[in-house]
Amino acid sequence: MKVLVSALASLLFLLALAPDTHANTAIRQWSYADGKSFKALILGWDSKTDLVTLSRGNNDTFTVKRTDLSLADQAYVRQWFNNREQLEKKLKEAGGKMLYLQTSGTWQTDYYVYQPSTYKADGTDPMLLLFSSSGNGYTMMLRHFEAAEKVGMVLVTADYFSNKNSGPTSDKHFTEMLPQLEIISHDPKKLFLGGDSGGALRAYHYTADFDRPWAGVYANGGWLGRDHTRKYRANMRVAMINGHKDKNALHFTKGDTDYLTESRSCNVALFSFEGGHQLAPTEAQVEAFNWLLGNAKSEGE
């Protein structure tokens, strides 16, 4: 329960200090190059002086040289502000709210939450957790939150979970992260997993490895990896969305579909877009998201 309380406190602290829903602020743990760590909100970065402005709360604001931070945190700062202007413009147009969070506990993970303008916070909102094959949750959010807004779905993305970070350690990250995500108001019967390429494979695997009432999977250019033995959650809705030139993903579509429908009683729908092994465009995402939510039919239904 300690982890849950800590995560909730962080969320409430964030909302209290950041009423501007378009601001880049996040309470998280930072590390200096020498390994010393501290918790703070990021308020800004001056690329000319390379100074990062941070706050511990209670008007305790201070600056540090970006290069004095750990390599991971240096990259985090750049990631935050490289697309800031574009992101804030899109957020203003969409009307939703973006939260920048970090799990508490041993296996800390930065993650991002988009609450659409229709968010009711009454336990009825659908929620999708997307994994990025590169482990770049921020970019994954930038590429998908507009589609989430259009269908009225809470979207969560996370750093760390890359193709390179797999196995027992990544499972520990998710084990710690999952109950903290469940603090976010959503309908537990409308909880989806998804991702691109290896992120989609992770989503499939987690439906088997983590006991939750997963409603479905959004698989963008991802397949089961020739594994037709895992007990993926039964009776899910699975949206497979592939570029028309993605030969590998298309090659495995039939075998995966047969296994999921015949052995796991899943409802599988196929979606396509013009392109190769890449993220689907927003229009195609909307089509697949709507189908997952039961708002539309796929071809052949």
pLDDT at 152: 97
* Average pLDDT taken over every residue of the chain: 86
Confidence of residue 49 (pLDDT cuts 50, 70, 90): very high
Percent of the chain with pLDDT over 70: 87
Q: CB burial class (10 A; 0-12, 13-18, 19+) of residue 74?
A: middle
Mean pLDDT of 176-186: 92
**Is residue 273 classed as helix, strand or coil in its secondary structure?**
strand
Residue 19 belongs to what domain range? 2-82
Query: pLDDT of 118-158, one tens digit each?
Result: 999 999 999 999 999 988 888 899 899 999 999 999 999 99
**Eight-class DSSP state of 268:** E
Same structural domain for residues 214 and 124?
yes
- Please give the torsion angle defined by the CA atoms of residues 294, 116, 6 and 73, in that order, rounded to the nearest 10 degrees: 110
Alpha carbon separation from 242 to 248, 255, 295 (Å, rounded): 10, 15, 20
Query: pLDDT of 60-92, one tens digit each?
Result: 889 999 999 999 899 888 877 776 666 777 777
Confidence of residue 262 (pLDDT cuts 50, 70, 90): very high
Alpha helices for the chain (secondary structure H): 2-17, 71-82, 84-94, 137-151, 168-181, 198-209, 247-262, 282-292
Closest CA to 104 of 187, 12, 210: 12
Query: What's phi and psi for 30, nearest 5 deg?
Result: -115, 160
Query: pLDDT of 94-111, one tens digit each?
Result: 889 988 888 988 998 989
Q: Tokens 């039964």 belong to which residue? A: 234
Stretch among 20-29, 168-177, 224-233, 271-280 having the lowest mean pLDDT? 20-29
Q: Are strands 37-46 and 51-55 parallel, antiparallel or unpaired?
A: antiparallel
Residue at a domain's end among 28, 47, 82: 82
Distance from C-alpha of 146 to C-alpha of 155, rounded to nearest angstrom:
10
Q: Tokens 């699975």 belong to which residue? A: 238
pLDDT of 16 strictly over 60: no
pLDDT at 85: 65
pLDDT at 81: 76
Mean pLDDT of 25-40: 83
Mean pLDDT of 37-60: 84
pLDDT of 269 strictly over 90: yes
Same structural domain for residues 191 and 157?
yes
Confidence of residue 256 (pLDDT cuts 50, 70, 90): very high
Q: Is residue 28 part of a domain?
A: yes
Same structural domain for residues 30 and 148?
no
Q: Is residue 152 part of a domain?
A: yes
CA 7 to chain CA mean position, Å: 17
CA 128 to chain CA mean position, Å: 8
CA angle 164, 170, 175 (to 5 degrees): 160
Distance from C-alpha of 158 to C-alpha of 156, rounded to nearest angstrom:
7
Q: Which residue has the higher pLDDT, 68 or 183?
A: 68
Residue at a domain's end among 82, 114, 141: 82
Mean pLDDT of 21-26: 44
**Is residue 294 classed as helix, strand or coil in its secondary structure?**
coil
pLDDT at 34: 92
pLDDT at 50: 93
Number of domains the chain contains: 2
The gap between the terminal CA atoms of the chain, to the nearest Å, is 45
pLDDT of 11 strictly over 80: no
Same structural domain for residues 50 and 111?
no
CA 237 to chain CA mean position, Å: 19
Stretch among 16-25, 226-235, 256-265, 267-276 having the lowest mean pLDDT? 16-25
Same structural domain for residues 126 and 253?
yes
Q: Is residue 94 part of a domain?
A: no
Q: Is residue 96 part of a domain?
A: no
